[in-house]
Amino acid sequence: MSKPLLVVVGDTLLDRDVDGEVHRIAPDAPAPVLDERAVRERPGGAGLAALLAAGSADCDVALVTALAADADGAALSEMLTAAGVTTYALPLPGATPQKIRLRARGQVLLRLDRGGAAQPPGDAPDGLLDVLGTATAILVSDYGRGVAAHPAVRAALEKASAPIVWDPHPNGPPPVPGVALVTPNLAEAVKVTGDAAHGTTLSTAQRTGHRLKDRWRARAVAVTCGSDGAVLCQAGPTPLVVPAGADAGEADTCGAGDRFAAAAALSLAGGSLVSEAVQDAVAAATSYVRTGGVTAALARPAAEPAVAAPGGTTAGEERIGADAAGRLAAEVRERNGVVVATGGCFDLLHTGHLATLRAARQLGDCLIVCLNSDDSVRGLKGPDRPLNSQADRARLLAALDCVDAVVVFDEPTPEAVLSWLRPDVWVKGGDYADGGPTLPEAELVKRWNGQTVIVPYLDGRSTTQTIAAARVAATTNSGR
């Protein structure tokens, strides 16, 4: 039996936490000086909601978002893919939006936003939004940067039969009519209705919740009230109040709204009533805050210093690795170039490999090689392979004039790395022409309007054949 599918829709940002210590005030301004100790990066916005959903339930998670063609966009794709989130990306003009928090002892000193004003995403590639029609439940995580307002996205949401949870943003569009649940926080609800926040929290939440339910033609609105829980407004005049329990104190609440909305959507995907889904969501958000918030939930390690590579250079300065590949792809796209990628084990580099690589490089403005890791090669070829380590194989490939970058992947197939790299052309060298088997990865590459092609290969050139011939020769010579 297949798992339920939660599809998250919305804007993805790059969140960066810079943690450090403050021991002094700047001599030239009355501002604290933060001594940086660690930097952590993660997807934010709808990307964070997708990660929290993927890490908290037995379901498949897909993300419909917009990604820029820069190194930060590639990094976001890589992080999402590594977390098991399948990404369906519209093109995003400009730079990846970033939210940078400068923190000391867990307290935010300053938030810095980068990426400029929101720009509408480009046209959706053919078939990209079909995933909404296969969803068990849908979560729209709107951050006001254009995905939820995209005409094609809204049309697909209006046609979807799955229950929709809509987490709105004051700068975003209203939900499409008929959604199962809208989840504004109290400040957002007051801002949208224009009401003055008078009376108790409960009375304000009840008043604004019912007004928003009627205005948005939603089936239900749950106004979240932080440590006071949530107020659910449905058809009748009496709301359901779900308390959160004891206050979590000075805990980091970043992402609590995403956790609430994701939990509600997952509960609906499991067949719960809306009232049950809101209770599940309050419990999940409360636990999320009490146990450390986003840092504890994702537990991504802090960035480490670059490691010295053989030859005295720095690994970050080489053409090897995800960072190098992402930067290269972004630079090529910025000048409207064509990014070409190919993949393989490349255990014993031979003239057949070279012919394929040179042919691939001629198809665009850069060539990125997706290289099977040592563990991946062993899984494909057996315990005696590879003969050369992934570090040596990567360095040999990067030394070729027809190869511009190398990225190593651990999976049996390169689908994960392709999902974040998104090459314009994916090259296969092999016997797939003339009625042969279906090209692997071809359907995946179509997702971003990429093209899969075959290039000629040289008969009789094979690493397996070379190894076999060497073993025969060694056996023959030893018997003399």
Give the model confidence (pLDDT) of 243-287 as tens digits. Answer: 886 555 556 788 899 999 999 999 999 899 999 999 999 999 998
* CA 348 – CA 471 distance, rounded (Å): 14
* Model pTM score: 0.78
376: which 2 tokens? Answer: 């991946």
Q: Left, alpha or beta for 460 (phi > 0: left; psi -120 to 50: alpha)? A: left
Strands 107-114 and 137-141, bridge-based pairing: unpaired
Domains of the chain: 5-298 (3.40.1190.20), 315-477 (3.40.50.620)
Q: How many CB atoms lie within 10 A of CB 212?
A: 22
pLDDT at 98: 95
Active site residues: 258
* CA 229 – CA 286 distance, rounded (Å): 8
Average pLDDT by stretches of 10, the chain with 480 residues: 88 94 92 92 94 85 92 86 90 92 90 91 91 96 96 96 96 96 94 77 90 95 92 88 69 85 93 94 90 70 39 52 86 90 89 88 94 91 87 91 92 86 87 55 88 74 53 52
pLDDT at 478: 55
Residues in contact with 127: Cβ distance below 8 Å, sequence separation at least 6, in sequence order: 446, 447
Angle at 413 between CA 411 and CA 415, to 5 degrees: 95
pLDDT at 315: 38
pLDDT at 331: 87
Question: In this structure, are residues 14 and 43 in contact, taking their beta carbons and an 8 Å threshold?
Answer: yes
66: which 2 tokens? Answer: 């917009």
pLDDT at 314: 38
* CA 191 – CA 388 distance, rounded (Å): 62
Distance set, CA 420 to CA 88, 222, 254, 441 (Å): 10, 35, 25, 13
Strands 85-92 and 60-68, bridge-based pairing: parallel
Q: How many CB atoms lie within 10 A of CB 30?
A: 6
pLDDT at 154: 97
